[in-house]
């Protein structure tokens, strides 16, 4: 039967109630059927629903309830037994399911409730993680700031930029109100405000370094909070700000670059520190966080490192600049020295010849003049001329010698000579002069002093003569004693010559000569100056004696060349002085070369005047030169052949020719080459003629070249008769001649 709206008006009143029941049941059934549908629909839509089984149960329960109510509809009117049975079945089922559901719900509802708690828990967790993330982010940012700060600080090597940048960056990163750096002053007793963030030019505030707060900060490597009222934090007048922000201070180690008096505080290390003060903005209620303090500490360390780098760099740049300057100066000095040496060498090269030629002429002619008929006054005049020119010649030779000595180009002429006669000759030379001054000269030669020695006789005589001459010059009365002996090893190591370490050997001995005079003596302070060129000790005695002051300087150099040492001892003015020198000489071999005891340079008088029949060959391409040389040699009695070319020369040369003069400045003809060929042709020494080079220029190079090709001598042209005579004489006697002129 269907319910319809058209209900019969004459129903009984309780039928109204029945009708309402009927309708409600219907709607309940409807609802009961639609609820599972809705559930299914929405659950299907949702992705997560863990209790499907419960849903089924619940659905069943609802459906059955609905069914029950639905079946109830039929029970309002008379119904059959089937309906009753269905009804009963439905109710029974419903009862079962509902009980089951009720039981199930006991389990489920707590679960559902706990979901809620879990949700809450998760939310809290999420909030916490968020916070932590925030923190990490902050830290990371801090780290980035530190890196950036470090980068900024380390990107420059200029001290001021480093410090300024530090303050600026710190100020920015930490949003500081003020940031300041206090540096220790030179004395180290105060800290001076050097850099600030806000103020452009900090006026020189200083605080004494002994303050407890400062000590506290310096003794720890952490950033410490300090009171805003401490002197380092009170930098500018706080105009009516109530709550100054928190202040933190940290030490910044500085590199030792200046002297630092540590007498005042022995308890601290010698390290110097600067103080960095950071102030948070006032009235901000901000606090210093741990990570910010860490940041500050790290920055302080970095600044220290950067500063030390900057300091090192500054130092090395300065050193490099200095070195460059010195280099330039040295280079300049070297070039100047070279120029000077070149100029001097050029000068010497010219003066060498130009000076000696006129001197030679003067001396030669004056000596010739001496031999002519002269009136006494004329003789006196000539003698004076001769003496002065000898002096001048000696001076010229001395100066030239000295420059050659300094040049290093002077070489000793080693030969065997009579040592005893050297001393005897000096004695003879000096005796007349000494007797005029009424000085007695005594000569003591030790018994073990060898008679013959090998060395440079001329230079040794020069040294002895100079020393003895000085002794005579500076003594007005008394005696001079000359002692010569062989120095033994103990006496060699004189404390006055500490850098002299002579080595004994079998071939050499050390000659020690002491010249003691009783003259005016020398001030011990002046002794070192004696051996310097051109320096003279100022005293009346020396004023009259003349001399250029070169003597001792030259002696010293000769002595040094002979691997010896020379010095002067004096106890003071008026106490006389002793000149001592030691030189190394060789032992002479007892060979056939031993000459007669009295052969000295004085023997130059015994020169052969004529060379009858001596066969001489002259090679020169200059006609005039040839004729004059021929005439010269002819005048001396020689049998002269002249040639003008190499071919002619080689054609004519034979064993009969004893001497060959060849011009080595012939253009186009290599005289040196010729000399070599002659050597090849005549291999035995006694067969070969004596080769002498004629040249217009006598310098070291020419001499060396001549020696190199085996020439026996070099002569400067033009040659005088006497010169030629002595040259031939010496050549024939010694087979060697290397006199310059």
Partner 1 sequence: MDAVTQWQKQWFDYTQSLRREGFLDDQFAQLKKLQDESSPDFVVEVVSLFFQDSEKLLNNMGRALEQNVVNFKQVDAYVHQFKGSSAWIGALRLKNVCINFRNSCEAQNLEGCLRCLQQVQQESSALKSKLEYLFRLEQQIVAAGGSIPIME
Residues 203-222 binding partner 1 (CB under 8 A) are: none
Q: Which of 39, 365, 374, 402 binds partner 1 (CB under 8 A)?
A: 365
Least Cβ distance, residue 629 to partner 1 (angstroms): 8
- Which residue stretches of 155-248 are H helix? 159-174, 212-219
Pairing type for strands 247-254 and 224-226 reads antiparallel
Q: With respect to partner 1, which residue has the nearer C-beta, 632 or 711? A: 632
Which residue from 200, 543, 624, 686 is in contact with partner 1, where contact means CB under 8 A? 624
Beta carbon of residue 665, minimum distance to partner 1 (angstroms, whole number)? 7
What's the rounded Cα separation, in Å, for the pair 22 and 717? 169
Give, in order, the Cα–Cα distances in Å from 613 to each of 118, 292, 616, 637, 640: 145, 117, 9, 6, 9
Query: Binding segment for partner 1 among 3-11, 543-551, 618-626, 730-738 (CB under 8 A)?
Result: 618-626
Rg of the chain over CA atoms, in angstroms?
62
Query: What's the rounded Cα separation, in Å, for the pair 104 and 474?
Result: 144
* Total of residues contacting partner 1 (CB under 8 A): 25
Beta bridge partners of 714: 693
Give least dist CB 478 to partner 1, A. Answer: 46
Burial class (CB in 10 A: 0-12, 13-18, 19+), 302: buried
Does the protein bind partner 1 through residue 613 (CB under 8 A)? no
Strand 190-196 with 206-208, pairing: antiparallel
Ranges within 689-708 binding partner 1 (CB under 8 A): 696
Closest CB to partner 1 among 207 and 669? 669
- Name the helix (H) or strand (E) containing 512: strand 508-517
Residue 388 binds partner 1, judged by CB under 8 A: no
For residue 183, the 8-state DSSP code is E
Is 665 annotated for ligand binding? no
Q: What are phi and psi of 647, to 5 degrees?
A: -60, -45
Q: Binder to partner 1 among 397, 536, 622, 705 (CB under 8 A)? A: 622
- State which of residues 634, 650, 681, 708 lies at the interface with partner 1 (CB under 8 A): 634
Q: Is 418 known as a binding-site position? A: no
Of 572 and 718, the one with the shorter C-beta distance to partner 1 is: 718
Which residue among 115, 721, 736, 739 contacts partner 1 (CB under 8 A)? 721
289 a known binding residue?
Answer: no
- Per CB under 8 A, the list member of 368, 380, 701, 736 interacting with partner 1 is 368
- Alpha carbon distances (Å) from 712 to 417, 476, 665, 703: 21, 48, 17, 11
Whose Cβ is closer to partner 1: residue 103's or residue 721's? 721
Q: Residue 358 or 572: which CB sits closer to partner 1? A: 358
69 labeled part of a ligand binding site: yes
Minimum CB separation of residue 371 from partner 1 in Å reads: 11
In angstroms, the CA 76 to CA 213 distance is: 102
Least CB distance from residue 714 to partner 1, whole Å? 16
3-class SS at 641? strand
- Binder of partner 1 out of 376, 668, 680, 685 (CB under 8 A): 668
CB of 677 to partner 1, least distance (A): 23
Q: For residues 200-218, b (16+ Cβ closer than 10 Å) or e, as one string?
A: eebeebebebeeebbeebb
Q: Around Cβ 571, how many Cβ atoms within 10 Å?
A: 12
- Per the annotation, does 64 bind a ligand? no
Q: Which of 255, 289, 250, 249 is nearest to 272 (CA)?
A: 255
Contact stretch for partner 1 (CB under 8 A) within 101-109, 183-191, 362-370, 507-515: 362-370
Taking the complex as a whole, the smallest distance from the CB of residue 635 to partner 1 amounts, in Å, to 5
Three-class DSSP labels, 74-103:
HCCCCCCHHHHHHHHHHHHHHHHHHHHHHH
| Under rule CB under 8 A, residue 351 binds partner 1 | no
Applying CB under 8 A, among 271, 493, 575, 635 the residue interacting with partner 1 is: 635
Annotated binding residues for Cu cation, written as ranges, equal: 65, 69
Annotated binding residues for ADP, written as ranges, equal: 470-473, 517, 533, 548, 552
Annotated binding residues, written as ranges, equal: 65, 69, 470-473, 517, 533, 548, 552
Which residues form the interface with partner 1 (CB under 8 A)?
A: 360-361, 364-365, 368-369, 621-625, 627-628, 631-632, 634-635, 665, 667-668, 696, 717-718, 720-721
């Amino acid at each position: 039967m269907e319910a319809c709206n058209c209900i019969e008006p004459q129903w009984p009143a309780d039928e109204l109630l029945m009708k309402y029941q009927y309708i409600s049941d219907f709607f309940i059934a409807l609802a009961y059927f639609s609820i599972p549908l809705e559930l299914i629909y929405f659950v299907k839509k949702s992705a997560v629903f863990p209790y499907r089984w419960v849903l089924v149960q619940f659905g069943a329960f609802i459906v059955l309830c609905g069914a029950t109510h639905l079946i109830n509809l039929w029970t309002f009117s008379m119904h059959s037994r089937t309906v009753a049975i269905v009804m009963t079945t439905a109710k029974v089922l419903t009862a079962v399911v509902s009980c089951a559901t009720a039981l199930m719900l006991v389990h489920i509802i707590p679960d559902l409730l706990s979901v809620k708690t879990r949700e809450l828990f998760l939310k809290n967790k999420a909030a916490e993680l968020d916070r932590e993330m925030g923190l990490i982010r902050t830290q990371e940012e801090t780290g980035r700031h530190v890196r950036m700060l470090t980068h900024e600080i380390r990107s420059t090597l200029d001290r001021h930029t480093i410090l300024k940048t530090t303050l600026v960056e710190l100020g920015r990163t930490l949003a500081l109100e003020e940031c300041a750096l206090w540096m220790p002053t030179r004395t180290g007793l105060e800290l001076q405000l050097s850099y600030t963030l806000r103020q452009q030019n900090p006026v020189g505030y200083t605080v004494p370094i002994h303050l407890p707060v400062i000590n506290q900060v310096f003794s720890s490597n952490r950033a410490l909070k300090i009171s805003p009222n401490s002197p380092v934090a009170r930098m500018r007048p706080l105009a009516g700000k109530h709550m100054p922000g928190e202040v933190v201070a940290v030490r910044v180690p500085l590199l030792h670059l200046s002297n630092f008096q540590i007498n005042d505080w022995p308890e601290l290390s010698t390290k110097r520190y600067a103080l960095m003060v950071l102030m948070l903005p006032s009235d901000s209620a901000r606090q210093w966080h741990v990570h910010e303090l860490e940041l500050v500490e790290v920055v302080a360390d970095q600044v220290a490192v950067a500063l030390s780098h900057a300091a090192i760099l500054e130092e090395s740049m300065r050193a490099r600049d200095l070195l460059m300057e010195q280099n330039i100066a040295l280079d300049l000095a070297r070039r100047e020295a070279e120029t000077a040496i070149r100029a001097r060498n050029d000068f010497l090269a010219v003066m060498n010849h130009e000076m000696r030629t006129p001197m030679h002429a003067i001396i030669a002619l004056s000596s010739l003049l001496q031999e002519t008929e002269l009136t006494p006054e004329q003789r006196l005049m000539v003698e004076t001329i001769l003496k002065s020119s000898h002096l001048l010649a000696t001076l010229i030779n001395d100066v030239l010698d000295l420059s050659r000595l300094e040049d290093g180009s002077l070489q000793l002429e080693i030969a065997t000579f009579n040592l005893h006669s050297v001393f005897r000759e000096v004695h003879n030379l000096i005796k007349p002069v000494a007797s005029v001054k009424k000085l007695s000269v005594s000569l003591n030669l030790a018994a073990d002093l060898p008679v013959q020695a090998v060395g440079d006789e001329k230079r040794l005589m020069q040294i002895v003569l100079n020393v003895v001459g000085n002794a005579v010059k500076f003594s007005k009365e008394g005696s001079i004693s000359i002692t010569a002996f062989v120095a033994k090893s103990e006496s060699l190591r004189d404390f006055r010559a500490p850098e002299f370490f002579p080595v004994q050997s079998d071939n050499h001995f050390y000659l020690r000569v002491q010249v003691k005079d009783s003259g005016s003596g020398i001030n011990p302070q002046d002794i070192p100056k004696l051996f310097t060129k051109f320096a003279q000790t100022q005293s009346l005695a020396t004023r009259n004696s003349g001399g250029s002051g070169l003597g001792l300087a030259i002696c010293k150099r000769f002595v040094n060349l002979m691997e010896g040492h020379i010095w002067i001892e004096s106890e003071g003015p008026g106490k006389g002085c002793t000149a001592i020198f030691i030189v190394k000489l060789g032992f002479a071999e007892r060979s056939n070369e031993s000459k007669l005891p009295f052969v000295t340079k004085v023997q130059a008088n015994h020169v052969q005047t004529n060379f009858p029949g001596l066969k001489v060959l002259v090679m020169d391409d200059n006609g005039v030169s040839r004729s004059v040389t021929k005439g010269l040699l002819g005048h001396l009695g020689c049998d002269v052949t002249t040639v003008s070319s190499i071919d002619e020369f080689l054609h004519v040369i034979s064993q009969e020719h004893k001497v060959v003069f060849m011009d080595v400045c012939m253009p186009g003809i290599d005289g040196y080459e010729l000399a070599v060929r002659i050597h090849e042709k005549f291999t035995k020494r006694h067969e070969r003629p004596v080769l002498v080079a004629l040249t217009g220029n006598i310098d070291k190079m020419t001499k060396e070249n001549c020696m190199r090709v085996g020439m026996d001598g070099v002569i400067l042209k033009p040659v005088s008769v006497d010169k030629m005579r002595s040259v031939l004489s010496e050549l024939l006697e010694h087979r060697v001649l290397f006199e310059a002129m």
